[in-house]
Structure 1
């Protein structure tokens, strides 16, 4: 579970609402599924910057409800009535488009009143209403229209478990004319959910049902911070950024690991045994750094497994059997155990089962697991099948946020006599590890780092970041920052080093999403320059990437092929 830092700088306005929206939908529902099925076991990974933002949203909403102080998220302020509905056509259009940011077939169309509000002004599923010729149309819409639209948008984003509460049921049935009291009650429901998320997962971990793990603080791609040459294992001929490498990158990786573990300990009261390196991005130098922090396990994808075992001497027949996929590996010279994602099983959940009847999907999934177990016979109890996917993005493509599928899956897995649910920490201790001579650096996406480096727009993003880091280094070396200023600048640098900015650069993602993230990346860099007292360079005013593609389930884990 992760979201990048959506605020402007460390304490400014939120530019995108995904932390609180996924909080009231996916993070809440994922906890509810586990709470309903206590025999189920799982590993739940949190990015530290997500934990901080969930906590911040809960506090800001609490303050707004108690004292009326606005939050730093315009959508919440509009919903509360603290910020007035805009009167100009451009701002009204932007608000309507913001209220369409969801998967319409599963989140708008099932609610006729919500769908009707959008159809009546000619809006499409792609937020396709244009400003030209529409100014008179938008100006005639009443304030209540926008308040109802905002209410419906947030009702649609409620997870299945929150939708079952008496308040949500009443508001869903009411359909229109939502009053200030109605909207305040909805905001209170959302605040209670967000405030309770971290404690709920801590309780699940305290009773041994789940293992909690963490990523490095700002969700950076650690192997790329360490050395740009780590891209060469899987992208030997791809163009690289202009700089030879990220200056002081290994030191920055250690900072992200140390700070991430500290944030995790603050919220969960324990040190994590596992670190999911951002995007499953692994390399030998990254594993060595995990050893320094006495981390027991990490994990990556099937592409990394295939490349690594091929380069370590496995034959084509051995790779075709996938036998080594189902055991943790221990890379020569390192201690941290490395697990590998079963891409086929994981992608069935992430991309295919959303269109199936839940019973058929669960039956198919378990049949695959039984087939794997049968291959091993009496040795199956020493084998591990790793199913790893996003904790948020897949579920809006399922009916009812995946409620029926996940409940049926958890129940079936928990009761199965030949399949045992477990955690990586337990298997890092109990499952025999396979020695691995060579680790091919890569991620869980295609076994490479191509999603973050190696194309023009992505490399340009790295060049911008390298320039900012060099400016930071010069100012730090000059000693011109006091301890508080240095701490703020260092944390802001950590935000700029996050992986998500580079994920979006390129032409395969939708232009609107690319624009959101590339603008925020440039904003974060400008903020870093200001914190160190340096004038931001002029190129930060120029759009970095345009996008224009229509990637499947854009923004989610990429489907692995081959």
Structure 2
């Protein structure tokens, strides 16, 4: 995606785009391109298959499938076959020994190859020849592939430089280690942003440290890319009144954030006002159109690419009926394109082609628009582009504990700080450490993130020749827990299974899971299929009532019970793999399942997968729902 975005744009000379490059990402890309980076993943990919140990094979089987199944695995039949052969991660222990040396060579090859843009493959004869083999790759093939990839990484960075020098794109950047700058500047911004935030039992204010992230980013972009930075995307769109001045002090002309920050700043919801440029104490600020941005980031990934591009273009044409509107479409980096069937190529080519010929809509860089007049904004509400606050990084017990560890280490280092130790602390201030703490975002690598965060703090102390305190050996992250109901069932229910909830009393006393939104690990996203899941029991059955989002069509429901039997319901043919499971689909989907199918004496753990409209969605996103079975004597007490 890093290559495709500028490459596709380069074919449409009259379309201008701003790309935000985070310094620490560019630094890592250049380390790989210039052969300085070394990691366990690439080392194992290059290690001859016949010399891999049992533990290394298990490592490869766990990690090398952790890419998009839809866009990186299924497109290569051999890669997909190997995934099915491995099964679920918990099955590795029993299946690893069935992987042949050839299986391992092919897996290592496809793990690397699937990361390369199809646009690059088509233009590279070596890569095309490798693709044609399809299987039976050798260790030498893997080495040839890797050696071919390194200059491609360098070429990707150079492509951005070329488009910047041509004037077609602007390159903005982010404070160096991607920190939530308002919280670094003054932790009280978290509580001001959302008074319900559970604040840490301490506070800190480090304006000078915030400035260092900005200064280091500007210096890096100048030295490495020869880019004169004029604008910044604050990490996660995080802004506040007190950080405005430090951007200006470093020559930054503009920043951007989400529309919700504008509404909170104005204390009024008026969408028309997002189509202007504002000035806060001389700093220009753009507020993104969340609706249009999220259509590209999420909704259009489920639709045809040409159809989606036409839809967006028509929406922009409608907005252009009023002159001088400034429409800011801001996407979460490369994240959207990995969810499009073909990487979003057709979408971007169609959209850019339409914009290239359109005289009513003018594309421009943010700096070009920032030169024009702006409306004054006298107050900037502190917050980010996620819920308009900082609760993604502050407030949860784990997140607050991480901030406490950071503060404690800084206190120990007072009077002993040197540049190397300070660099480790700045790295530990990056937003992603705090993103993965808590239960709102999930990654398979939560243990590794936790360990790395604490390693940076330990290393800072070691570089200052100070003793590492024992608390840094204590993990912050708790082991993943099951998803529990937002409303707990308190009474038996006996609904009529007809696909319609005829009255309130059918599910009176039932429990509920709110699944209207869930985390992708990237952002909080509206659920495609469901608004909520209602559950209930009687003495013999578990009842589920699935309420869909308006207009959604469910074609199949798969239920997986931990320790129990799978239930597969085909709503189109009205058939089930269990004769004694009753279900109906009209306005809602209702299911009645004998308790014997669900297993578990006291509780039921399950997850479900819904399919329809060529879309598949899992609930919950990771893990399982956990519900306590109601016992008759408990109900007698309650009622």
The TM-score range, normalised by the shorter chain, is: 0.7 to 0.9
1:80 aligns with 2:46: yes
1:108 aligns with 2:40: no
1:51 aligns with 2:26: yes
1:159 aligns with 2:117: yes
Deviation at 1:391, TM superposition (A): 1.9
1:228 aligns with 2:166: no
Deviation at 1:386, TM superposition (A): 0.6
| Structure 2 alignment gaps of length 5 or more | 484-516, 528-639
1:532 aligns with 2:464: yes
Matched residue of 2:371: which SS? helix
Deviation at 1:362, TM superposition (A): 0.6
Superposition map of 1:318-337 within 5 A: 319-320=269-270, 322-331=271-280, 334-337=281-284
Contact 1:78/1:84 (<8 A) preserved = no
Superposition map of 1:206-225 within 5 A: 206-225=165-184
Residues 17-64 of structure 1 show CA distances to partners (whole Å, capped at 9, x for unaligned) of: xxxxxxxxx111112112222222111111111111111111117xxx
Report the Cα distance in structure 1 between the residues aligned to 2:50 and 2:41, rounded to whole angstroms.
11
Report the Cα distance in structure 2 between the residues aligned to 1:160 and 1:79, rounded to whole angstroms.
21
Larger radius of gyration between Structure 1 and Structure 2? 2
1:511–1:539 distance in 2 versus 1, CA, 3 Å: farther
Matched residue of 2:171: which SS? strand
Contact 2:392/2:440 (<8 A) preserved = no
Matched residue of 1:440: which SS? coil
Aligned with residue 96 of structure 2, among 135, 138, 142: 138
Matched residue of 1:129: which SS? helix
Q: TM-score, normalised by structure 1?
A: 0.83
**Partner of 2:91 in structure 1?**
129
Residues 199-235 of structure 1 show CA distances to partners (whole Å, capped at 9, x for unaligned) of: 2111100000000011111111110011111112331
Aligned with residue 476 of structure 2, among 535, 544, 547: 544
Deviation at 1:151, TM superposition (A): 0.4
Contact 1:510/1:548 (<8 A) preserved = no
Aligned length: 492
**Partner of 2:154 in structure 1?**
195
Contact 2:179/2:430 (<8 A) preserved = yes
Deviation at 1:511, TM superposition (A): 5.2
Deviation at 1:291, TM superposition (A): 1.0
Report the Cα distance in structure 2 between the residues aligned to 1:339 and 1:84, rounded to whole angstroms.
56
**Partner of 2:249 in structure 1?**
292
Matched residue of 2:264: which SS? helix
**Partner of 1:448 in structure 2?**
389
1:459–1:159 distance in 2 versus 1, CA, 3 Å: same
Deviation at 1:128, TM superposition (A): 4.5
**Partner of 2:512 in structure 1?**
none
1:350 aligns with 2:297: yes
Contact 1:445/1:560 (<8 A) preserved = no
Contact 1:329/1:433 (<8 A) preserved = yes
1:356–1:128 distance in 2 versus 1, CA, 3 Å: farther
Contact 1:509/1:548 (<8 A) preserved = no
1:470 aligns with 2:411: yes
Deviation at 1:263, TM superposition (A): 0.4
**Partner of 1:178 in structure 2?**
137
Deviation at 1:552, TM superposition (A): 5.1
Contact 2:441/2:519 (<8 A) preserved = no
**Partner of 2:233 in structure 1?**
276
**Partner of 1:397 in structure 2?**
339
Report the Cα distance in structure 1 between the residues aligned to 2:481 and 2:5, rounded to whole angstroms.
32
1:34 aligns with 2:6: no
1:497 aligns with 2:432: no
Report the Cα distance in structure 2 between the residues aligned to 1:553 and 1:144, rounded to whole angstroms.
37
1:423 aligns with 2:365: yes
| Structure 1 alignment gaps of length 5 or more | 1-25, 62-70, 311-315, 477-485
Which has more helix, going by share of residues? 1
Residues 453-496 of structure 1 show CA distances to partners (whole Å, capped at 9, x for unaligned) of: 112111111111111121222313xxxxxxxxx22112111111
Report the Cα distance in structure 2 between the residues aligned to 1:59 and 1:266, rounded to whole angstroms.
16
**Partner of 2:325 in structure 1?**
383
**Partner of 2:419 in structure 1?**
487
Residues 238-284 of structure 1 show CA distances to partners (whole Å, capped at 9, x for unaligned) of: 111122224xx101011111111110101221320001111111111
Q: CA RMSD in A?
A: 2.0
Report the Cα distance in structure 1 between the residues aligned to 2:433 and 2:330, rounded to whole angstroms.
22
Matched residue of 2:346: which SS? helix
Contact 1:509/1:549 (<8 A) preserved = no
Which has more strand, going by share of residues? 2
Report the Cα distance in structure 1 between the residues aligned to 2:168 and 2:114, rounded to whole angstroms.
30
